[in-house]
Structure 1
Amino acid sequence: MSDNSVVVTKKKKKFKIFPLVNGLIFILISLAIMLPIWKVIIDSFDARSAYGFKWVPTMFTWGGYRAIVTRVALYRPFGISCIVTIAGTFLGLLLVTLGGYVLIQWEMPGRNFFAYMLLFTMIFDGGMIPKYLVMKQLHLLNTLWSVILPLSINVYNLVLMRNFFEGIPEALFEAAKIDGCSPMGIFFKIVLPLSKAALASIGLMFAVQFWNDYTNFKIYINKDKLFNFQIKLRNMVMDSDIPNDDAVDPNTISSASVIVAILPFAIIYPFCQKYFVQGVNIGAVKE
């Protein structure tokens, strides 16, 4: 063997237990989440639904979904849910983007004071009764504003948006100021276009929150014509007020109602997934 020869040594790969355990844990968590959902889906298609677990329906039927979709009394609540979700998401994004942009203005007097006051509200809450009294004094009871405003002012989402704005390079702001761009011009022309991931992820959280809202409708609204889809659907299922022309099991209709309630966002989520994956890391990396 010559002196210039190279001896190649193979390194044995060390077996690491952590990736294996980590994978098993996530498999168990996924099963714990998916199995109940799968049971509800199967029960919604089974005319003889039971409390036991089944992989496939024993007697397939569309009766549960037909009973809900053909119920005219659910059309108005569905429209109200859509209006509240769209208006609330728009207003929530408007407030958190403007609030987050204000909090990154380092030269603004009292910036730290306002930031700490907002964080204070995340720890200490006024409570249900004071909120109800405020809504009553503002004459907002039995209006859609009583369910839109409380959820639109979300300090947690505002802090997330502020953290994302802080990750935008300072050089962009300075270059825009040199070019004569106003603060609001910087906001609309630079900040918002660079914040698509944050807007999509936080907007999705707002939308899910408004769509699934039950508590605020129950507290602030007692007019039947202003109930949202979840309230009306729940009342009909509990009171057995949904026509059952196909003679399906009541549990089938209940399961179908759950799927109908979550279906809109099950359809929307895949289109927002790429932005949502980016948005979950909002403010996680600083340069």
Structure 2
Amino acid sequence: MTARLITFSTGGETRYGLWRPEGITDLSAVFGERWSTLKEVIEAGTLTEIVETAPDRIDFQESEIEFLIPVTNPEKIICVGVNFPDRNEEYKDGQTAPKNPSLFIRFPRSFVGHKQALRRPPESPQLDYEGEIVVVIGKAGRRIPEDKALEHIAALSLCNEGTIRDWVRHAKFNVTQGKNFDGTGSIGPWLVPFVSEEQIRDAKLITRVNGETRQHDRTGRMIFSFRKIISYISTFTTLVPGDVIVTGTPTGAGARLEPPVWLKPGDVVEVEATGLGRLENSIADEE
């Protein structure tokens, strides 16, 4: 089975480990003195090492832990907007797809882990879902050529890039506000080490709400490839190990339904992709 590395909380401590169907192996207990977080493991280039040398034992059951976002303290979380052909057409502005990706920044605090509730804020009921694939950078680089871009990937994950829709229209040019309410998105459940381009060449990406498929597309149809995204971003900023890139969502978000359908307390959203598992979150009102 593909290795699945998680960051989790238990007993008031943040730890990292290897997820298996039968339970979790606590890798912090083995490697914690050398690398205290998964980000440090990524920086050291030792994701494969900790998987290959992990002890064959179960330290925790899933019921004993709380999933956190896999990289809890990335230097950057950069998100790509409008990266599938049908998404571009949803804007109905008559414009063809742009030559370069639209980008925005999110803060770690705006995300929760697998099986944690996304929080609908009191300022707006317009909480929406966006299922996406996540790339985690493993090797630093600036002005990375496209033909070398995949060499800079350490791991892959999933994201529900939850958005407060009316708050992305609060100003003329930016979407920052609507994308950064605390706890409105999720990343996880785990990191899958990146091995080859086959993992992302034409992966199927699906989002379900209460079991109903709302988004369904393949990465082979992305307007901007993973190579292009990494190369383009690294033109203006140095990518460093642990940086998170959220690569874009297909058509089918709640805002585009007629009439729009927003997430409400009690709903369950699942994001699934080939080889990456399934990210699941319920919805609750922010206390």
User: What TM-score range do you get, normalising by the shorter chain?
Assistant: under 0.3
Question: Which protein is richer in helix relative to its size?
Answer: 1
Higher normalized contact order (CA 8 Å, seq sep 6+, divided by chain length): 1
Larger radius of gyration: 1
**Normalising by the residue count of structure 2, what TM-score does the alignment of the two structures yield?**
0.24
